[in-house]
């Protein structure tokens, strides 16, 4: 082995170790934050009581608060943040655009509209997810046809996606009024207040299934960064990789919005920070995005439910306050993505 190759491998090993160190720090931070926010809320309980309730569950007032209210909501914020951020990382990786996400392409609002349609017919959660996935794919197909037919720039595709986003939000609002099952403020701002163990379990199973599949295609996405022709020259089926990746991202978003409504900007902010930290290796970008998304949504939801007690601010409003300055920054710094 030449000295140059040895030094290259040594630098890569150090860089990889640094990446794993960052992931470990994010994971540890998430665990600590999740524990610290359990006592916070309208009903104040001590951290010691929380720990006692977790390890010796009974039927006391504290146990009811911890197990039926706080833990499902905290865990739902974590898994939803992971899923939204992961889907955003996939979309940005496929489209090579930091402004691309299921939120800005209208996929999230279309999926939520589908879930609302299922609710109008009194369908169960399984059928709601099917409706959500169907309409999410409709939005994705519309964006694809627009981009392919007109050969538009990625910025123009984003603008078309934003138009679809508002269109489906309006349709979801109408569906909500007809169904009478959910408030307009929840439709437009997202919600975690109705989190349950069923929603946590369903979303967790989805991530357990989809995350390994996305990691499997991470190397293909890495090659696609260099261009479709370059990726194809090394034996990668670019169209299949793009299609499967986008379908998985749509599926993740479709399931989450059935339980949380449309929560924007998590799928936009988290992948950008992860890419800035991890470089262009999607194996690390996906993991880092998921952890950052979990931290971001858990933190903003904690602020939403504790800032003005006993009034609860919709978590989507807090995310919008964070997200609007960020998206303006991305618009100005567009040239620094790849």
Intra-chain end-to-end CA distance of the chain, in Å? 32
CB of 282 within 8 A of CB of 93? yes
Joined tokens for residue 189:
């701002």
Distance of CA 324 to the CA centre of its chain: 17
Q: How far apart are CA 5 and CA 8, in angstroms?
A: 5
Q: Nearest to residue 290, comparing CAs of 112, 96, 77, 95? A: 77
pTM of the model: 0.90
CA–CA distance, 142 with 243 (Å, rounded to integer): 14
Phi and psi at 89, nearest 5°, equal: -65, -40
At residue 149, the pLDDT reads: 67
**CB–CB of 86/290 below 8 Å?**
yes
Length of the chain: 338
Closest CA to 51 of 39, 61, 43: 39
Which positions ≥6 away from 190 have C-beta within 8 Å?
260, 261, 262, 263, 264, 314, 315, 316, 319
Q: How does pLDDT run along the chain (338 residues), one tens digit per residue?
A: 555 555 667 777 788 888 999 999 999 999 999 999 988 877 778 788 788 777 776 667 777 888 888 899 999 999 999 999 999 999 998 888 888 889 889 999 999 999 888 877 766 788 889 999 999 999 988 888 877 766 666 677 788 888 888 888 888 877 777 766 555 555 556 778 888 899 999 999 999 999 999 999 998 998 888 887 888 888 888 889 989 999 999 999 999 998 988 888 899 999 999 998 998 889 999 999 999 999 999 999 999 888 887 778 888 888 888 888 887 877 676 554 44
**To 10 degrees, what angle do helices 125-150 and 238-260 make?**
140
Instruction: Classify 195 in phi/psi space as left (phi over 0), alpha (psi -120 to 50) or beta.
Output: beta
Check residue 234 and give its pLDDT: 84
70 vs 79: CA distance, rounded Å: 14
Q: Specify which residues 132 forms β-bridges with.
A: none
* pLDDT at site 181: 56
C-alpha 132 chain-centroid distance: 16
What per-residue confidence (pLDDT) applies to 5? 57
DSSP sequence for 203-257 = HHHHHHHHHHHHHHTHHHHHHHTT-HHHHHHTT--HHHHHHHHHHHHHHHHHHHH
Residue 151 has what pLDDT? 62
- Could you tell me which CATH number the domain at 88-265 has? 1.10.3470.10
Phi, psi at residue 311, to the nearest 5°? Answer: -75, 140
Question: Angle formed by the axes of helices 71-95 and 282-306, to 10°?
Answer: 140
């Amino acid at each position: 082995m030449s000295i140059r190759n040895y030094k290259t491998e040594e630098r890569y090993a150090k860089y990889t170790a640094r990446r794993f160190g960052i992931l470990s720090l994010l994971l540890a931070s998430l665990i600590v934050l999740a524990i610290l926010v359990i006592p916070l809320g309208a009903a104040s309980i001590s951290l010691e009581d929380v720990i006692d309730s977790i390890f010796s569950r009974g039927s006391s007032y504290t146990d009811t608060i911890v197990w039926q209210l706080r833990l499902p909501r905290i865990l739902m914020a974590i898994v939803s943040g992971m899923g939204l951020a992961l889907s955003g990382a996939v979309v940005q990786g496929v489209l090579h655009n930091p402004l691309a996400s299921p939120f800005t392409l209208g996929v999230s609002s279309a999926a939520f509209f589908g879930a609302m349609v299922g609710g109008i017919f009194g369908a169960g959660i399984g059928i709601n997810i099917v409706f959500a996935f169907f309409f999410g794919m409709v939005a994705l197909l519309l964006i694809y046809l627009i981009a392919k037919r007109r050969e538009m720039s990625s910025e123009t595709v984003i603008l078309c996606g934003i138009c679809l986003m508002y269109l489906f939000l309006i349709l979801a609002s109408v569906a909500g009024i007809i169904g009478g099952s959910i408030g307009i403020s929840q439709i437009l701002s997202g919600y975690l207040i109705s989190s349950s163990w069923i929603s946590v379990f369903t979303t967790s199973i989805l991530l357990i299934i989809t995350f390994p599949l996305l990691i499997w295609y991470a190397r293909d996405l890495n090659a696609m960064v260099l261009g479709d022709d370059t990726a194809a020259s090394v034996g990668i089926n670019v169209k299949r990789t793009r299609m499967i990746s986008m379908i998985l991202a749509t599926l993740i978003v479709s399931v989450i919005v059935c339980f949380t409504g449309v929560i924007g900007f998590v799928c936009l902010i988290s992948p950008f920070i992860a890419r800035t930290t991890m470089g262009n290796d999607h194996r690390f970008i996906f993991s880092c995005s998921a952890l950052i998304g979990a931290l971001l949504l858990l933190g903003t939801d904690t602020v939403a439910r504790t800032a003005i007690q006993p009034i609860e601010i919709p978590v989507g409003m807090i995310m919008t306050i964070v997200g609007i300055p960020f998206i303006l920054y991305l618009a100005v710094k567009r040239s620094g993505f790849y």
